[in-house]
Structure 1
Amino acid sequence: MTKRTLEELKDAVNSAINSNDAASLMECADELDALATSEAEAVAHNARGVGFYVRGNYAAALEHWHRAMAMHEELGNRSDVARVTLNIGNVHSSTGNYAAALEHYHRALAVFEEIGNRTGVASVTLNIGNVHFSTGNYPSALENYHRALAMFEELGNSSKVARLTGNIGNVHYTTGNYPSALESYHRALAMHEELCESGSVAATTGSIGVMHSSTGNHAAALEHLYRALAMHEELGEIRSVALVTGNIISAMFESGEHAEAEALLQTMDNMQINEPEIVVQREHHRALLQEHHGNIDEARTTLRAALLIAQEHMLAAKQAGVRKTLRDLALKQNDLAGYVEHNNEYTRINEEINGKESTLKMAMQDKQREIDAKDREHAQHMAVLHSTLPKHVAERVARGEVVNDQFDNASVIFLDIVGFTELSSTMSSQDVITLLDTIFTQCDAICEQHNVTKIKTIGDSYMCVSFDNVVNAARCALDFLHIAPTSHPVQFRIGIHTGPLTAGVIGTARMQYDVWGDTVNVASRMESTSEPGKIHISEALNEALNEALDKPHIVPRGEIEVKGKGLMKTYWLEQPVTP
């Protein structure tokens, strides 16, 4: 196998992180070790840390991340230090230490913002949203998710866009908006499948299963949950296997499949996962099985241990569930004092949760309206920009960039309608506008087809640029010659020249994207000295086409006088350009 470079392995590690592929991360780490450099070793420790984290081995993950942190600090890699700090925050979040998680996240965020790492800022914002979601602050979770979503959309990170779409679905699910949740989950699932992200496909499939379980559709729930379980097992994602197994057990209790639930509980025991929510869920299931077998005292002892964990980590919903089961057990044993104690606590926690949820739902609705209003405003702003600027330029302007680009070999095309002044004098003003609109609309479509950027129209002239591909410019110009408006027969003069130019956006009220430089002037002279139905090209374009293509059909025109340039050797481009 060909030995991969450090940069190639870094890319492979990032890809494996995006898809939660623990096996690939470990393989990359082994290859990085073989490079025997300090930077490669640091990247290897980070990769192993993520791999162990995905597999639920948090102690090993922290060990490798702290070693990676020390090495990156010594190397002065501030971006990597921030990235590892973010990872350590993830461990604290997974173990229920949300205060420590937020501390690490904000520390990482400050570094990413300082060094201008927009991907890092977006990633931390996503994880801050996750903490707010876990602690029940759904409006803040939704706000951070939408903020991160907008950043990843601008960055073109489809993987993170898919993940955030699923996270937004989780917020809708938790607040009881099942139709919106299901819509978000299916959109996220389609994106993850298109990206071939197996781990994320499994997680989203599991989320759909949990939602079906909540609505009482146990058959659909188990179908999706078992599918998710198989995928997580194949990927070796122990933590995710434990989560999905717990959800399957819950669905089995609802459908009365106690024997199957007991077998799966043994599987969970063997995983030795210590994440608080998983532990409380597992022990609650154990107590229900003990009760099912008539072991009431054992069930009560198990539930009290689970309650202590839920209280320690402030898991209110888990506390309520355990209190309810303890209350029901007390009733079966005619334990009036126990019944009153647990019923009072269950009622208190439930009222607190319900009151909090009502307040949060109202706040969330307000936040959603605010987000929707901002989205509409942004969409309107982008629509205006797209109507006046090329799409790729509009997106840069929307991000606040100053567009001022230099190109070494741009090909400028000018097209002019032959005899337009005389022709238009015989037409009504409406017919003139219709004719120009027909011609220039077809020009726009041809430019789009060949990845050529329209710059502007000037009277009856059309100007466009291919910034980095002379072949695209040639094909575009040849297609221009075939434009044939049905109302009036017309011919075009076309000129092309290639060379350096400057491109940028000018103005604020009515922005315009334009290009400047001697290349533009020469291209204009090529058009003005062309002939009807012909494409007049410079020697520079002729040389570029001969380099790019095998025997393009170009005919020498000879030397002609060009204003401001003197005699220039020029050519005719005469037939379709093929590779």
Structure 2
Amino acid sequence: ALAIHEELGDRRGVALITGNMGTVHKSTGNYPAALELYNRAQAIHEELGDRHGVARITGNMGTVHKSTGNYSAALELYHRTLAIFEELGDRRGVAIATGNIGIVHLSTGNYPAALEHCRRALAIHEELGNSSGVAQVTGNILTVLISSELYDDADALLQAMDALQIGDPAIVVQREHSRASLQEHHGNIDEARAILREALLIAQELTLVPEQAEFHKSLRDLALKQNDLAGYVEHNNEFTRITEEINGKEATLKMAMQEAERKMAKERNEHEKHLAILHSTLPKHIADRVSRGEVVNDHYDNASVIFLDIVGFTTLSEQLSSAEVVQLLESVFTALDNVCKNHDVVKIKTIGDSYMAVSFPHSVPRSPLATLGASVRNDNDPVPRFARNDNAHVFSSASAALDMLHAISHIASPTGSPIEVRLGVHCGAVTAGVIGKERLQYDVWGDTVNVASRMESTSLPGRIHVSEAFASLLSPSPSHLRERGANKTSEGNEGAPVIPSVSEENEGVPVIPSVSEEPGTWHLELRGETELKGKGLMTTYWLESVTL
């Protein structure tokens, strides 16, 4: 066609065909050839005084510079194009040039300016009834909204765009790229990858080279998020190859591999550091949830809370050096941590010399069949029948509390005096969650926690003070509760008055079965009614071990 126009001396026809040839090269990513042809066509249009032709070619040259990242040149060319179309009163041309200026602002990260120009262009296209222009600019606005992280607006606009009749496959490809970005934002990584792969096939069939590069870049980034080294290398290589062909640069596969490996290694190292920090501050199952991006905010209708406090620690610490105090607490808390681990009880925190732990429901506890002091369960032992009960957490916490007493009995202070502790246990509804931003902390809240703390503060040295609610679940049948003589207030119980029970002879009070009658290593002794701060009188019990 070009030869024919040249033979005929049709300069206008030559300019048009030359410009079209430049557009073909532009579409295939051969930008040097495109610019050469555009310059030739522009010269002819200027020679002929064809202002429309000059504006059109100038705009195409701006697109070439935009595609190669020369945004300042692109912006200058687009503004020149806009000025010509405004001078000519060409509303369609004004809309196109204005939209292109918006795209450049998008590429440079100036999203407010991008949104302003794209919306101005959309209004003109709608005014003109230009459906293809409306579809194209709508796609550009969708991209701006996603880049601006205005995802709700983007979701709504994508639904509106799906209702449009779009005949240009290039616009369809752009829309699908935006759809994939939204799916990625919503956490649907696999769906996003599938959309990108299908859109990439369309771009390859239509030889849309720049779009192919963008899809490979997006697929590469998704592979990085999923630690897919092979996928990362594959798409990074394709993105690099296409980009280098477009920009006329050269690079080797080895450099791409090394860069991919460095980025992947850095990502893995950062992820491992993050996990290490989480696991050092949170229980493992909670740390795993946090690392997956979950918001940990759980409610349990019934969980068992244990509080332990070292008796006379303030006085004892005054007799010790700082190093000895730290070493003593390290020994105590390490022993308690091991007990919690053996009984599927979660350590929550330590405050000074106090220790807090919780046994949650729906977890498999360690066997309470072992005698006191046998804190390590044989994994070959059958799981006790009550481990499948919803109240299994009560049995776990009872075993843990008894083993805590046993573990502490083997620890002596640097002065040689034995370490004594008080324990309190209560069960009920709790809320558990992770709080904090820089320093994460897993904690448990609720009235159950307050009552458990009161049980500990009103306990006695070397004893485990439990609530009636806990005792009832530990030995649910009425025949399991036995009074063994309530202790009246004494020097060792000063400040924690106990009201004597009705019968000193245990008349009419059921008896707890021994270990030979029912699985268990404990029995409950009725303490009586105990005054708890803020709670008034509550019936409480002592949890004691059974000596076999």
Please report the TM-score for the alignment, with normalisation by the length of structure 2: 0.44
Please identify which structure carries the higher helix content: 1
Please report the TM-score for the alignment, with normalisation by the length of structure 1: 0.42
With a CA cutoff of 8 Å and minimum separation of 6, indicate the structure with the bigger relative contact order: 2
